[in-house]
Amino acid sequence: MDPTMADVMKILIEACFGENSAKYRKTEKGLRQILQTEYNDNIENFRQRFVQPTLQLLTTLQNQGIPVSTPKYQLVHLVSPDITYEAGDMFFQVGQSKPGTLSLKFTKYDNVRNVIRLQNSHVPEKDYRTAFTDQYLQDLRTLASNTGNIGDVLMRTCIVITKDGAVARVGTSSIMEETNMNVIGNMTPEQKSAIAEKLDKEPVLRTSGDRDDWLALAERLEAEETLEEGFRAKMNACTTPGSPTMKLLEVLGRRDPRYPTTRLLDHLRQMGRNDAVDAFNHAKETKRKKVVVYRL
């Protein structure tokens, strides 16, 4: 291989795969094929029109804390994985027809020809964060269903690459949970603060309207013996299950148990809901007494 070509391939693969880049020989083979078929073996053209925009995309994703990879898997592919596609498959890939963009590719059943086809969906930059959530995929399924397709079966397994370079399938729900932890973990304090302020403005603490349900929540707190579970129970009753906001709150709650409880109580006091504050405090005191009795 020409030294210049080798250098170009190495830079791109290392930017995507990091310390495990030596194990991704199939990716290198796929890039060579793109060079030959799309750029007529013109290294400089390939470097300027494909490599540089792709490197910029990877930098953008990483700077935003978006998970190009997790501790277990590589999520964003440089080339389409060498695998026989099945119904429900999906994966993220750097753009090839439009270098510098992010693509979400998924399989779709063609009932006319009785075959499974690979579809391409462009992910706008404004959607980079939400693209790695269950809610984003569910919205695409709903859109497919509303246009006369069978949307529920779409994007149920995510095609990833293991740290050994092998292609594998992982359930999308489990992989999205892991990516959410990655996104939150990479946020700066300023980003977390900005999100917290945004959440403060959302009407997520509204009661059902039919009856005051704080007593029932307090009873659940006692049963579960944890403020965080009760907090999520209340939030689940007021927001769309699986929404990015709900997922974000859950992740923040697991990383800092004081976060949801403190913020929730502050909300309640500002709203004049001292009855709700008392309910939470009662549940907390009940839990504390149980712990004391247990220790005695």
**In whole angstroms, how far apart are CA 92 and each of 87, 189, 192?**
16, 28, 26
Mean pLDDT of 86-108: 91
Mean pLDDT of 138-151: 74
Alpha-helical (H) ranges within 107-226 are: 134-146, 172-185, 189-200, 214-224
**pLDDT > 80? residue 256:** no
Judging by beta carbons within 10 Å of its beta carbon (0-12, 13-18, 19+), is residue 66 exposed, middle or buried? Answer: buried
Mean pLDDT of 84-94: 90
Q: Each residue of 119-141: pLDDT tens digit? A: 898 998 888 877 877 777 878 88
**pLDDT > 60? residue 270:** yes
**pLDDT > 90? residue 225:** no
Q: Which residue has the tokens 């569910």?
A: 138
Considering only residues 205 and 67, tell me which one the structure prediction assigns the higher pLDDT. Answer: 67
**pLDDT > 50? residue 82:** yes
Q: What angle do helix axes 189-200 and 258-270 make, rounded to 10 degrees?
A: 40
Quick check: helix, strand or coil at residue 182? helix
Instruction: Look up residue 202 and give its DSSP letter.
Output: S
**Lowest mean per-residue pLDDT among 125-134, 255-264, 269-278:** 255-264
Structure confidence at residue 55 (pLDDT):
93
**pLDDT > 50? residue 117:** yes
Mean pLDDT of 110-123: 79
**pLDDT > 80? residue 203:** no
Task: Supply the mean pLDDT for the chain.
Answer: 69
Q: Which residue has the tokens 């006319």?
A: 112
**Lowest mean per-residue pLDDT among 6-15, 198-207, 278-287:** 198-207
Burial 34-44 (b: 16+ CB within 10 A, else e): ebeeebeeebe
**Lowest mean per-residue pLDDT among 47-61, 96-110, 227-241:** 227-241
Q: Each residue of 38-66: pLDDT tens digit? A: 999 898 999 999 999 999 999 888 877 67
Q: Each residue of 4-29: pLDDT tens digit? A: 777 777 888 888 777 666 566 778 88
